[in-house]
Amino acid sequence: MPERLLNYVNAAATALALPLDEARAARVAAHLARTAAMAGLLDGVPLCVEDEPAELYCPAPFVPVEPGA
Amino acid sequence: MKPPAPTQDLLGAMARGERSASEVLEHCLGRIADTDGRVNAFTRISHARARREAADIDRRRKQGEAMPPLAGLPYAVKNLFDIEGEVTLAGSKINREHAPARADAVLVQRLRSAGAVLVGSLNMDEYAYGFTTENTHYGPTHNPHDLTRIAGGSSGGSGAAVAAGQVPVTLGSDTNGSIRVPASLCGVWGLKPTFGRLSRRGSYPFVHSIDHLGPFADSTAHLAHVYDALQGPDPLDPGCHALAIQPAAPQMHRGIDGLRIGMLGGYFLEHAGAEAREAVQAAAGALGVVEIVEWPDAALARAAAFIISASEGGALHLGDLRARADDFEPLSVDRFIAGALQPAAWYLRAQRFRRRYRERVNALFEHWDLLLAPATPVCAPMIGTEWLEINGQRHPSRPAVGLLTQPVSFAGCPVVAAPLWPAAGQGLPLGVQIIAAPWREDLALRAARVLEQAGIAHLNETAL
């Protein structure tokens, strides 16, 4: 497992106030290494700036209102 | 094993007065008492409520009242559904400290209104993060067809309870395959509806942007009737997009004439073991399928679903991961932590990919009505299995069980999992996914009925 991932795990856990002992940090980094490979696959997908995330948020149900009403 | 006595007409038998709701319920309770010490599907049995609901149905029928569509049908729910007065465990130890639910989940309310009788709640992977229901806190759920094997997950109790003949219908949830995997490994019918079809209000979430709820059943008739009773818009669930009920049961007799049905190749066959290939080919043969179809970006979709699940799931439990990680399921706590620590860039790229992926999948359904694929790469592994070999490739067992379901739910398409019994499974079942375009559950259910009537897909008796 790359040391940079273990360093990342320890730094991110510190930033989130998530305590990790040495053994757990190593296991978490091993999981993250597998996910990093998947993220690498997605990095190969050509996305343009107009490609927005899939939506969920909606401020309110759409109500058709005549302009000026 | 021979198929069990058909239960398709259970509702009819009660409607004709041949069996009372109370008799049917007591049969289920007896079956649970006889078998659940070995299966471990149930985490709680609601004896008092079940007997009250069944007696109420019998009283109303005796008084000549018009009866609701599921009058007297016993069912149980994965223990992430709220049940009024009970603590919603979601498979965890931590949630035992939560207050009891103040109301039933919306889907439980709908089944109660339809006259169904709630028998209890069912085992699952902790917080739905798993495909095996090897739950350390409540024990593993055992596959009723071979007690040394997993039932699948995360809705393992829901699949096993139907397979064991404990109840004819259960409810579960499916984020990445958690209905289709246990349906496949336990040999029962399962329906993962379109993302946004059914209200999730009153269920404990795993991944807000992918979570689905749906039924398991012992027949396509029960599956369709229960699905119809579960439908209805819910403006209070931001993930519920359905604006009307679209009943599927009245369409079940229509068969598949005129439907364009293909079988998925590429990724879906590369990750299918011999028994999975045999099962999907048997289903394809019965439905007259000849053409192999390529599903777009399946491996990328699986990667994106994996990343989004880890990130949303980990973030949801960050507080408890900080304060009491040792109280989590040992099999998933490190994955939860890894998810909570994932870079935002990974998550956002996965969500941006998802929009483009949806367009490509929906474009595929301009040319096809239904697509077939195995639901799991292999039949149920032994409990405790760490590695699987699929076509010469070694995979970590627990995530690999969901290899074939994850890309499909990420697109939000509805899927019926049909129980087949390939010879290569040596007595174990393996499910076939019948995949339709968003909002076309009716088509998938029609094809499921054809497979059932042809004797290709059905439940088998267990040795319990």
DSSP string, B128-154: G--SS-EETTTEEPEETTEEEEE--SS
Q: What is the pLDDT of residue B9?
A: 81
Which of B46, B92, B121, B178 is an active site residue?
B178
Which of the residues B352, B354, B361, B395 would you substitute to probe the A interface, choosing the one with the greatest number of A C-beta atoms within 10 Å?
B352
End-to-end CA distance of chain B: 12
Can you tell me the distance from the alpha carbon of A34 to that of A19, in angstroms, rounded to the nearest whole number?
22
Can you tell me the distance from the alpha carbon of B232 to that of B129, in angstroms, rounded to the nearest whole number?
27
The answer to whether the Cβ–Cβ distance between A17 and B304 falls below 8 Å is no
Can you tell me the distance from the alpha carbon of B421 to that of B217, in angstroms, rounded to the nearest whole number?
17
Asked if residues B153 and B125 have their Cβ atoms less than 8 Å apart, the reply is: yes
| Residue B91: both structure tokens together | 């498979």
Q: What is the pLDDT of residue B3?
A: 46
Q: What is the pLDDT of residue A2?
A: 76
The answer to whether the Cβ–Cβ distance between A52 and B304 falls below 8 Å is no
Q: Which residues pair with B78 in a beta bridge?
A: B122
Can you tell me the distance from the alpha carbon of B409 to that of B263, in angstroms, rounded to the nearest whole number?
17
- State the pLDDT confidence band at A66, using cuts at 50, 70 and 90: confident
Q: What is the pLDDT of residue B313?
A: 98
Asked if residues A41 and B350 have their Cβ atoms less than 8 Å apart, the reply is: no
The answer to whether the Cβ–Cβ distance between B307 and A39 falls below 8 Å is yes
Q: Which residues pair with B149 in a beta bridge?
A: B382
Question: How many residue contacts between A and B have a Cβ separation below 8 Å?
Answer: 98
Q: How many CB atoms lie within 10 A of CB A30?
A: 15
- DSSP calls for B398-447: HHHTTTTTHHHHHHT--EEEEEE--GGGTT--EEEEEEE-TT-HHHHHHH
Can you tell me the distance from the alpha carbon of B410 to that of B304, in angstroms, rounded to the nearest whole number?
8
- pLDDT by 10s per residue, chain B, length 464: 444 554 658 999 999 999 999 999 999 999 999 999 999 999 999 999 999 999 999 999 999 999 999 999 999 999 999 999 999 999 999 999 999 999 999 999 999 999 999 999 999 999 999 999 999 999 999 999 999 999 999 999 999 999 999 999 999 999 999 999 999 999 999 999 999 999 999 999 999 999 999 999 999 999 999 999 999 999 999 899 999 999 999 999 999 999 999 999 999 999 999 999 999 999 999 999 999 999 999 999 999 999 999 999 999 999 999 999 999 999 999 999 999 999 999 999 999 999 999 999 999 999 999 999 999 999 999 999 999 999 999 999 999 999 999 999 999 999 999 999 999 999 999 999 999 999 999 999 999 999 999 999 999 999 99
Put simply, whether B353 touches A (Cβ < 8 Å) is yes
Residue A52 C-alpha, separation from nearest chain B C-alpha, in angstroms = 5
The answer to whether the Cβ–Cβ distance between B341 and A32 falls below 8 Å is yes
Dihedral sign for Cα B459, B461, B462, B464, please: positive
* B78 carries an active-site annotation: yes
Tell me which chain A residue has its CA closest to the CA of residue B395. Answer: A34
Q: What is the pLDDT of residue A69?
A: 64
| Residue B263: both structure tokens together | 């079988």
HSE-up (13 A, CA, CB side) for residue B249: 17
Can you tell me the distance from the alpha carbon of B33 to that of B45, in angstroms, rounded to the nearest whole number?
10
On chain B, the residues whose CB falls within 8 A of the CB of A63 are: none
Dihedral sign for Cα B49, B51, B53, B56, please: negative
Q: What part of B 239-278 touches A (C-beta under 8 Å)?
A: 239
